[in-house]
Chain A
Amino acid sequence: MLLNYLKITLAVLQRRKFFTFISLFGISLTLTILVVATAFIDHLIAAGYPEINRDRSLYIWNLKQKDTKNQGQSSGPISFSFINTYVRSLKTPAKIAAVSMPSTINIYLNNHKMNVRYRYTDSNFWEVTSFDFLEGKNYTEQNIANNDYVVVINDYVRDEYVGKGQPAVGKMIEIDNVNYRIIGVVRGCPITRIHVSSDLYFPYNTSKADLKKVELRGNFAAIILPNTPSDIPKIQTEFDVVASKIKLTDMGDKWFRPDKLYVSADSYITSFTRQFKGDGENDGVGYFFTIMLGIALLFMSLPAINLVNINMSRIMERASEIGIRKAFGASSKTLVMQFVIENIILTLIGGVIAVFLSLGVIYYLNNSNLIAYIDLSFNWKVFSIAIFVSLLFGLLSGVYPAWRMSKLQVVEALKN
């Protein structure tokens, strides 16, 4: 019987080419967008080069101050001195790294201007991350103690500034009228690695800003690597205790005098989702994924509605067939099954097309340099869930029209 259903499905699909195209286009495009979008979100959230420890690290970067009397608030990255005073005092972590937010600067080579991104970091930065050094090495605590003007560059800067594949370590690079010695070359990472991607990495001692200035807010983030993942809650609790003791007196000015402070050590995703709602008391992860799921379901309901519509329009066209099948012994239940199976076959064909489309789009994104160094991968798990949900929608979108069709009186159906 299944073979018969398959035959009739293929025949119907061939007969109504335009409707088939519309249906398959809707299904495959939706699945493709969903899979590519999820691959992108997965790329943004999951651990990956060079943040291979991301899923067992904690991040502190946003600090919110609130003046409840004047109803003012201010938030932004923490300062380098905040890290030194409050984060480095934690006992549980294995490593604590400080890294500045990225900035851009122009460097010049033979009247050719290159706009590059740079960050200041401490030496621990190279231990909480896992950059591939193509050449040389990272700067150490000793370089910082010596106040060495050194820089780690990525392969993009090396290729542009020194020459593709040319040795760069030991060469000098002039940036903002200061000469830096290239100490290492790393394989670059995409801009989507928000806390670590850059073209140039300087030791913090070379910063022109007064990093010793005592202030809560600044331009830095702390990345905390625990000894074991089980230490994460301990570190969070320990930091909460430290943060709760931060004195807010003598801060601000007559217009903004903060009396409340919100800062926490969070997992990577939570360090962003916490900003979504309220004052950061809620981690926002559930809220974030609920919204994402809602969008995905809403998005996936589009081809389902499209299918219902198309199926309904096929009722009259196939009424005669329904009448014939009923006359020769098909029950309403059997007919519902037939039309649902047809929908499922259609969805599966759309799914197969979506696999190839998704692979193509991911291949294009990875190779087009649209986002440098991006490394999206086809997520079979996400695709399986998407195809399952599509099948569910295929099922639901098939049941109602099929039920309507199956309720047609045989005599009426045969008159068509």
Chain B
Amino acid sequence: MIHLKNIEKVYRTATVETVALNNINLSVEKGEFVSIMGPSGCGKSTLLNIIGLLDEPSKGKVEIGGKHTNGLPDSQLAQFRNQTLGFIFQSFHLINDLPVLDNVELPLLYRKVSSSERRRLASEALEKVGLSNRMKHYPNQLSGGQKQRVAIARAIVGQPQIILADEPTGNLDSNMGNEIMDILTTLNQRDKATIIMVTHDENMAKRTHRLIRLFDGSQVS
């Protein structure tokens, strides 16, 4: 499903060169639930961003669903992200000016989906995460856990094959964190979604199929 070959990411300034990722080789199969762990600054999020086509590697090849993504033009990258990937961020990244339902609809806006169909699919996604009673609320009217559930609904509304979660429980207490993990586990088991999750929490990582550890930009296990 996902194949990374010799991935390197180097940040260069006039005087400093920082290696964020060094020779990463990684394959994730369809339906897998993989977690990535490592100390802060080891390149976990950078790796997830490269898998999610939000960032480009300095070297190496990224292949997702049999498609080489290196050098794809902006419009194709956008379409690929829209059709194949769903993101969940640690800080939720909801648009505060839009109500919950419109936030969830967002990925469908960039597809040819009618307004009524968008509403229906977004409502269904919110039902899946138990927030159908908060559709008209604005993000700043919700708790952290509720915001993350909205973010999950947004990630799954377009039924992407791959969900990328960057510390989805990082800003939540343990109860809320477990609730979110339950939802992700259900998505993986019931809907067969491929999930890659960055986390700092060993307990959360234990609930996934496989754990990848990074240290100083290199894969150590």
Contact = CB atoms under 8 A, between A and B. Distances in A.
Contact of B54 (A7, A8, A330, A411): A411
A328 B107 contact: yes
B49 interface: yes
Interface in B105-128: 105-107, 109-111, 115
A8 B95 contact: yes
A44 B110 CA distance: 53
B81 A327 contact: yes
B106 A324 contact: yes
B105 to A, nearest CB: 8
Contacts of A329: 78-79, 81-83, 107, 109-111, 158
Contacts of B201: none
B93 interface: yes
Contact of A324 (B49, B77, B95, B111): B95
Contact of B89 (A1, A4, A7, A414): A414
A75 interface: no
B102 interface: yes
A9 to B, nearest CB: 9
A299 B97 CA distance: 34
A337 to B, nearest CB: 11
B54 A12 contact: no
Interface string B30-57: 0000000000000000000100101100
A331 interface: yes
A257 interface: no
A79 to B, nearest CB: 73
Interface string A300-335: 000000000000000000001101111111111110
A296 interface: no
Contacts of A325: 106
B75 interface: yes
Contacts of B79: 329, 331
A11 interface: yes
Given A328-B87, A329-B82, A410-B54, A3 B93 contact: no
Sort chain A's interface into a size bin: 20 to 34
B98 interface: yes
**Majority secondary structure of chain B interface residues (helix, strand, loop or mixed):** helix
Contact of A328 (B49, B74, B115, B154): B154
Contacts of B115: 3
B175 to A, nearest CB: 27
Contact of B81 (A1, A320, A328, A411): A328
B46 to A, nearest CB: 8
A176 to B, nearest CB: 74
Contacts of A3: 115
Interface in A269-284: none
A4 B79 CA distance: 19
A331 B78 contact: yes
Contacts of A12: 97
Contacts of A331: 74-75, 77-79, 110
A11 B139 CA distance: 13
A11 B93 contact: no
A324 B110 contact: no
Contacts of B111: 329
B75 A8 contact: no
A384 interface: no
A330 B77 CA distance: 9
A72 B29 CA distance: 96
Interface string A120-132: 0000000000000
B74 A332 contact: yes
Interface in A55-82: none
Interface in A1-37: 1, 3-4, 7-8, 11-12, 15
Contact of A8 (B74, B78, B82, B97): B97
Interface string A229-242: 00000000000000
B78 A334 contact: yes
27 contacts: A4-B105, A7-B98, A8-B95, A8-B98, A11-B97, A321-B97, A326-B54, A326-B81, A327-B87, A327-B93, A328-B82, A328-B106, A328-B110, A328-B154, A329-B81, A329-B107, A329-B109, A329-B158, A331-B75, A331-B79, A331-B110, A334-B110, A409-B55, A410-B55, A411-B54, A414-B89, A414-B93
Interface of B: 49, 52, 54-55, 74-75, 77-79, 81-83, 87, 89, 93-95, 97-98, 102, 105-107, 109-111, 115, 154, 158
Q: Which 8 A-B pairs have the closest CB atoms?
A: A329-B82, A11-B97, A331-B78, A329-B110, A410-B54, A328-B107, A331-B75, A411-B55
